[in-house]
Amino acid sequence: MKEKTMKAKPKKATIDEMRPEYDFSNAVRGKYYKRVMKGSNVVILEPDVAAMFETSQAVNEALRNLVHIAQETERLTKRPGGRGKKHNTA
């Protein structure tokens, strides 16, 4: 009868083991956090919406077009002089 030979599984490093070249003794927690948050806008799209776009560039283009259309049609929905419709209360 043949015996199955199994490869030895690599030992998992314990939490306390760290390579000697890693030195975090002078590290500062969150040093670049504010800079990263200032320069990035992460938006999570629902899966059905994300499926409509192939790239983030396509999402940006669609949003720019939507903003452009909203700005162009805004003037059509406003009354001249900025006054709203007066309602007679009798």
- pLDDT, tens digit, 9 for 90 and up, residues 32-83: 988 888 887 888 999 999 999 999 999 999 999 999 999 999 877 777 665 6
Q: Is the separation of the CB atoms in 45 and 51 below 8 Å? A: no
- Return the pLDDT at 84: 59
User: Residues 6 or more apart from 79 whose CB is under 8 A from it?
Assistant: 85
- Return the pLDDT at 61: 97
Instruction: Determine the average pLDDT of the residues in 29-33.
Output: 90
Higher-confidence position of 51 and 90:
51
Q: Which of 86, 64, 66, 85 has the alpha carbon at shortest distance from 74?
A: 66
Whole-angstrom CA distances from 66 to 35, 72, 73, 87 are 29, 10, 11, 33
Alpha helices in the chain (DSSP H): 33-39, 47-50, 56-77
